Structure 1
């Protein structure tokens, strides 16, 4: 009996220690700061040192203090590349923040209701039938990844020589989906029940912007978001206007 208690005690200790270490790294209290000076400028200087010795690729770093960019740093391994404030980087899911801003402009103008079923606005594509109430899929829930979608997207994107899908085709089944999840814009959980990351939610919001505004997503975002903010070298679509400043992208291998 004593031996069993000892074994159980060791197992409990190992489980507790594993949980402590895991939380320590997730929460950050076991991580060592790279910024020994504990100042914003110290962080930038420390980051430069790490990037110059360990990072391969192109990177732009901006230090923002009191809503103002106070310092910038550009890193490249290509001696022939010119990186500066006009260089265009793919920003992946950061684009969701920008899309959300475009959606909220329509809400502010009274053209969208955050809590109305999204189906009320759609004509070009419709949610497939599900065992749950599709009327629970609202703009608010799409914005917050809580609409019940089970796509788990994660879009891989397309290369310059590949043909992009239409929005409707991508919503039906994304050709650039990952190796997990359905890759479809469909309700697989009760809307509003839980947070579940969903790239398809934002693809549907992109379609919603086009339906409600009567403009293409590119035109609407340029006129409503980028131009008013003076973002003259930003676009949601790579084309002739941005291609010459688009930085090279490196694979992990």
Structure 2
């Protein structure tokens, strides 16, 4: 079935109850969800590495007019900007302009990162890309037109800036902490290293080579495009953003304007690169872009990673004042889906679209025989987990907890019926299955009680 027929049908029956992780009979059409959450406009695109693309717009751009959203309507891409900026940074690594593991002080000339005592910490380009540099915890809300500070002022916390100065506040490399400040430093670093304005650099490095013709980091773009081709942002409840949108001097972190079709082009190119088929980025760097930088974590170099068995997808989500969005690729099927809304209340709607894409495109894996999974597993500090088979169903019991019947998913995962807990059994070459617990983005490994692991395995 072609994408158009397939997705028109899928968007007519979206699951309202996506948080459970299981299909629900409680479904609604996209138009119903837009009404329920007061989302004025939605744009969606689906593409394949072979070049096939389907895209459509729903609802209106907002403001005083009732202009329909189309596939060509530009939206704020929010934090997907980081994903695109990271691709550009890796192209500079590939050309030798940057090195992932070199101290950023080697490249910054117009501003220097310091800690609270004024000292320069040792931070690498890789740590900026992976949000592991330990920089100030910042979310950028944007500015009204004519009141935006410069990037330098954002870094310094001066002028009309509404965020604190960017500082090193955690031990670099010690942990993951998502913060837009990492990408503000990366933006300044790329500008200093190339002596080129950021929007121009990204246009020549990434946007033009990928034919992302409706995308730009230039904050004047929404003023320059025809008004009917710009989605105006909305607060929760449908209240419009004064002026239509905010200006984001922190372009690498949150300043891209784009369309779902353009965002697909990036994710599909990364998928080609991982397969060694890209003319832009080599396989090793593309693989780095999909490799969690903290073992068991969910973020790599500018990319949100879900590499669970049967759920492999890579990409990024985003939220700015007035907008929400996501763009993901399911590499085992060579398919990417991107969706953008002009509302802060778009998350639930987007979650329903993404859950539909997961069920459609996530890799299916064969479940191991139940008997191969049974036995006692030990988590950290000898914490016991017992897996048994009762009446043909797998049961799970942990220390001091009553046994429960696990809910089997068709992709080989098991869900706890009462907790936000996902269980996976991973076969090994010549050993019994290893049990993985996934809770709130954290993976923990429990091994058969007969094994004696060298150390606990707990990954943030």
TM-score normalised per structure 2: 0.42
**What is the aligned partner in structure 2 of residue 218 from structure 1?**
199
3-state SS, counterpart of residue 105 of structure 2: helix
Aligned: 1:109 with 2:99? no
Change in CA separation of 1:243 and 1:169 when aligned onto 2, cut-off 3 Å:
farther
3-state SS, counterpart of residue 205 of structure 2: helix
**What is the aligned partner in structure 1 of residue 140 from structure 2?**
155
Give 1:126's match in structure 2, choosing from 97, 112, 117: 112
**What is the aligned partner in structure 2 of residue 5 from structure 1?**
none
Q: Which has the higher helix share?
A: 1
- Between the aligned partners of 1:243 and 1:171, the Cα distance in structure 2 is 33
1:13-35 CA-partner distances (Å, limit 9, x unpaired):
xxxxxxxxxxxxxxx67355468
3-state SS, counterpart of residue 92 of structure 1: coil
Give 2:57's match in structure 1, choosing from 68, 73, 78: 73
1:29-70 CA-partner distances (Å, limit 9, x unpaired):
73554688xxxxxx9x83343224543322212234557433
Runs of 4+ displaced beyond 6 Å: none
- Between the aligned partners of 1:77 and 1:110, the Cα distance in structure 2 is 42
**What is the aligned partner in structure 2 of residue 63 from structure 1?**
46
Give 1:202's match in structure 2, choosing from 183, 208, 211: 183
How far off its partner does 1:80 sit? 2.4
- Between the aligned partners of 2:68 and 2:113, the Cα distance in structure 1 is 45
**What is the aligned partner in structure 1 of residue 224 from structure 2?**
241
Give 1:139's match in structure 2, choosing from 125, 129, 142: 125
3-state SS, counterpart of residue 73 of structure 1: strand
- Between the aligned partners of 2:78 and 2:41, the Cα distance in structure 1 is 15
Give 2:149's match in structure 1, choosing from 165, 185, 200: 165
How far off its partner does 1:105 sit? 0.9
Change in CA separation of 1:84 and 1:205 when aligned onto 2, cut-off 3 Å:
same
Give 2:29's match in structure 1, choosing from 32, 42, 46: 46
How far off its partner does 1:130 sit? 4.6
**2:58–2:68 contact (8 Å) kept in structure 1:** no
Change in CA separation of 1:133 and 1:143 when aligned onto 2, cut-off 3 Å:
farther
3-state SS, counterpart of residue 50 of structure 1: helix
Change in CA separation of 1:100 and 1:238 when aligned onto 2, cut-off 3 Å:
same
Change in CA separation of 1:77 and 1:142 when aligned onto 2, cut-off 3 Å:
closer
How far off its partner does 1:152 sit? 1.5
1:97-123 CA-partner distances (Å, limit 9, x unpaired):
011011111001001010111011111
| Count of aligned positions | 212
3-state SS, counterpart of residue 203 of structure 2: helix
TM-score normalised per structure 1: 0.74
How far off its partner does 1:143 sit? 0.4
- Between the aligned partners of 1:63 and 1:231, the Cα distance in structure 2 is 15
**What is the aligned partner in structure 2 of residue 22 from structure 1?**
none
Structure 2: 5+ residue stretches without partners: 1-17, 238-460
- Between the aligned partners of 1:90 and 1:185, the Cα distance in structure 2 is 24
Change in CA separation of 1:163 and 1:54 when aligned onto 2, cut-off 3 Å:
closer
- Between the aligned partners of 1:34 and 1:210, the Cα distance in structure 2 is 49
- Between the aligned partners of 1:139 and 1:107, the Cα distance in structure 2 is 10
- Between the aligned partners of 2:154 and 2:75, the Cα distance in structure 1 is 23
Change in CA separation of 1:159 and 1:139 when aligned onto 2, cut-off 3 Å:
same
**What is the aligned partner in structure 2 of residue 9 from structure 1?**
none
